[in-house]
Amino acid sequence: MANITAAMVKELREMTGAGMMDCKNVLVEADGDMDKAVELLREKGLAKAAKKAGRVAAEGLVKLAFSDDAKKAAVIEVNSETDFVAKNDEFVDFVQTLANMAIDAEPDMDKFMQLQYTDEGTVQEALNNKIAKIGENMNIRRFANFSQPGCVYVGYVHGAGKIGVIVGLETEASAAEVEVVGKDVAMQVASMSPKFVDDTEVDADWLEEEKKIAVQQLLNEGKPEAMLERIIPGKMKAILKEVCLVDQKFVKNGDLTVKQYVDEAAKELGKPIRVASMVRFEVGEGIEKKEENFAEEVAKQMGN
For the stretch 155-182, pLDDT in tens is 999 988 999 999 999 999 999 999 999 9
pLDDT at residue 172 in the model? 95
Q: What confidence score (pLDDT) does residue 161 get?
A: 93
Q: Is 50 in the same domain as 16?
A: yes
Task: Say what the pTM is.
Answer: 0.74
287 and 152 in a single domain? The answer is yes
pLDDT at 57: 36
State which of 13, 29, 55 marks the end of a domain: 55
Q: Is there a domain that residue 250 lies in?
A: no
The residue segments making up the domain with residue 44 are 1-55
Give me the CATH number covering residue 43: 1.10.8.10
What per-residue confidence (pLDDT) applies to 39? 84
Residue 47 shares a structural domain with residue 63: no
Identify the pLDDT of residue 137: 80
Same domain, 34 and 87: no
Q: 144: buried, middle or exposed (CB in 10 Å: 19+, 13-18, 0-12)?
A: middle
What are the residues whose beta carbons fall under 8 Å from the beta carbon of 19, sequence distance 6 or more? 13, 46
Q: Which residues of 181-217 are buried (b: 16+ CB within 10 A; e: fewer)?
A: bbebbbbbbbebbbebbbeeebeeeeeeebeebbbbb
Mark whether 293 and 158 lie in a shared domain. yes
The three state secondary structure string of 180-225 is: HHHHHHHHHHHHHCCCECCHHHCCHHHHHHHHHHHHHHHHHCCCCH
* Whether residue 20 is found in the same domain as residue 133: no
Count of structural domains within the chain: 2
- What is the phi-psi region of residue 66: left when phi exceeds 0, alpha when psi lies from -120 to 50, beta otherwise? beta
Residues 178 and 295 in one domain: yes
Report residues of the chain scoring pLDDT below 70: 1, 47-57, 288-304
151 shares a domain with 5: no
Q: Give domain status of residue 126, yes or no.
A: yes
Whole-number pLDDT of residue 56: 37
Is there a single domain that holds both residue 3 and residue 45?
A: yes
Whether residue 180 sits in one domain with residue 109: yes
CATH of the domain at 173: 3.30.479.20
Which pLDDT score is estimated for 288? 56
